Each structure stands twice: as structure tokens, then as C-alpha cells.
Amino acid sequence: MAQRGFHPVSGERSGRCSRNARIGLCVGLSVAVIATVVAVLVWHQGRLQKPPPPQKWKGRGTTSNFSHIVLGRCYTYIQFLRPELRNRDCRKIEEAFRNAFLSKNPCQVTEQDYAPLIKLINQTVDCNKTVFWSRSKELVHQYTRLQKTLFTLEDTLLGYLADDLDWCGDAGSSEMNYDSCPLRREDCPASAVSVFWTLASRKFAEDACGMVHVMLNGSLSTPFNINSTFGSVEILNLQPKRVHTLQAWVTHNIGEISRDSCTSSSINDLRSIVNNMNITFVCQNNYRSINFLQCVKNPEHFLCG
């Protein structure tokens, strides 16, 4: 006779269910432990795995402390050099500059990438104050530092930020490439740097108005080079409806051969280009104000007597 309250069948089922539950629990815990271990191993391997190295190019890498230099130059410019621009946001400008080329193949950066930077700066040069140059960089900037109402591209905030700097990123990294950057023509048709300067030079020319000036090196056999930035970009983007005269200052280095450069074949080529654009061309050898500046460094030379 069965004892009261004991059900052999149901008791057997209850024990079997308990065993199955324990087995299921053990299996579930094992799976969870294995999944956790795998996740930890994958995470650890991901931390140890280094990102692919940036592509190697033939040019110098990004200038050290690029962001700090750009930010510092921006504050210097708006606070001391051109305080009329003090309402510009230097942090946003530096960020827009950086974002134009970071995480991108430096041979595939476009002018559109620099559009936010151009928009943030938004600077115009007064009519009759624009000065272009070709192979006379040091002298022209000595001159515009004295004649503060005149502007080369490098005297604008956009050009001032980037002058003499190198920069590039890499498509596989969010960091700047400090090891190497592309050389134009050797690595790719247009690098992040060359795209920037082409855009800046074209905009500088398009915005010019009134009488514009260009300083050319008369100590060279060809003061005007059609393949220079001035010859291939800036002169071609002057707007005849805005610019009525181009005045060329052909300067000769003190102590070097002095040529009658305003009648040279290369200057005649420049004259033809400008006249065909319905812009008046004026040429002056050894512009007196620039000669005075040259003589400050060479006061004993007989030409400075």
C-alpha cells in the first residue's frame, strides 16, 4: 500500500525535471562563460592590434604642432595685426582647417573640403590694395609690412595661417601624417596643400578690384613665368569688370645684373595677356619705394648713394 501523499509517477517526473533544469542551467552558464571569454579575447586583441601605418609619400610630413601654430597665428592676426577681424572665432577656424584634410587621402582633398574654412574667415581687401608676387617673396613681404594698407595673399588671414606650413592626413587614420605628405606632380596631381593654395590664390584674384600690383624679380631672365601661380592662376582670374589696371614692379636685387626687364619677352607676354583681358598694363623697373627698402640692407652699395 502506498504511503499517504506519495505518488510514484509524479515523484519520478519531479526528479527528472529537477535534473533537466540543473543540466539546462549548467549548459546556459557554460555558454555564457564561453561567450564572455571570447568577448574579452576579442576586445584584448583589438586593443593590441595597431592601426595600419599611414601611406608613405615623397614630401615632408605635417609641420609639428600644426594645430597650435594655426591657432596661435589666428589669435595674433585678429588681436594685433588686423584687429578689425577680432570677432572671428579662431577655435572654429582651426577646427575647420583641420577637418578639411583629416581622415582623407591627401590626394583626394577637394576645394569643397576647404569651403567651411573660407566661409568662417570671410575677409575682403579694399580696392587698389592687392599685391601679387612671383619669385620675390621675401622682398614683397618686407614691403607690405611697411605699407600696411597693402595685402599679399600671405597678408590675409587665410594665407597668414598656412604660410610655409605642410599638412596632410590619411584615409585610414583620424590623425595627421607627421612622417610624409605628397609632393605635387611626383605623388599626385594635386595634394591637400596645393589644392588649398590654388583655391586661395584664385579667390584672392577674383576678389581684387581697382588697380592691382605684382612684384616680379627682374634679376631673372624671365621675370614673368606663365607656369607660376601668378601666371597660371591669379592673372587668369582677375575680373575685368572689377580690375582696370595691373601695375608690374620689376625689381632687381642689389649687386646683381640689372636688365631692362619691362621690355623683356616674358613681360611682353604678360602685357599681351592683360591687354587681351581689357585691363590696362603698366610696368615700372626698380620702383623707387622698393629700391629704398633694398638700400636699407645695402646702404654702402654705390646704387644707394
Catalytic annotation on 90? no
Measured CA to CA, the distance from residue 165 to residue 154 in angstroms comes to: 12
Catalytic annotation on 209? yes
Question: Pick the catalytic residue: 74, 90, 209, 283?
Answer: 209
Measured CA to CA, the distance from residue 12 to residue 34 in angstroms comes to: 33
Torsion of CA 282, 283, 287, 289, to 10 degrees: 20
Which helix (H) or strand (E) segment holds residue 215: the answer is: strand 210-217
Residues in the chain: 305
Question: Pick the catalytic residue: 127, 188, 295, 304?
Answer: 127
**Residue 192 in contact with residue 106, Cβ under 8 Å?**
yes
**Residue 62 in contact with residue 181, Cβ under 8 Å?**
yes
Task: Count other Cβ atoms within 10 Å, centred on residue 25.
Answer: 10
Torsion of CA 142, 143, 147, 152, to 10 degrees: -90
**Helix ranges (DSSP H) in the chain:** 8-48, 66-76, 90-99, 115-121, 137-146, 157-162, 192-207, 229, 265-276, 288-297
Give residue for cell 577674383: 206
Nearest to 244 by CA among 208, 279, 271: 279
DSSP secondary structure of 87-133: TS-HHHHHHHHHHTTTTS-TTS--GGGGHHHHHHH-----TT-BEEE
Instruction: Give catalytic residue positions.
Output: 127, 209
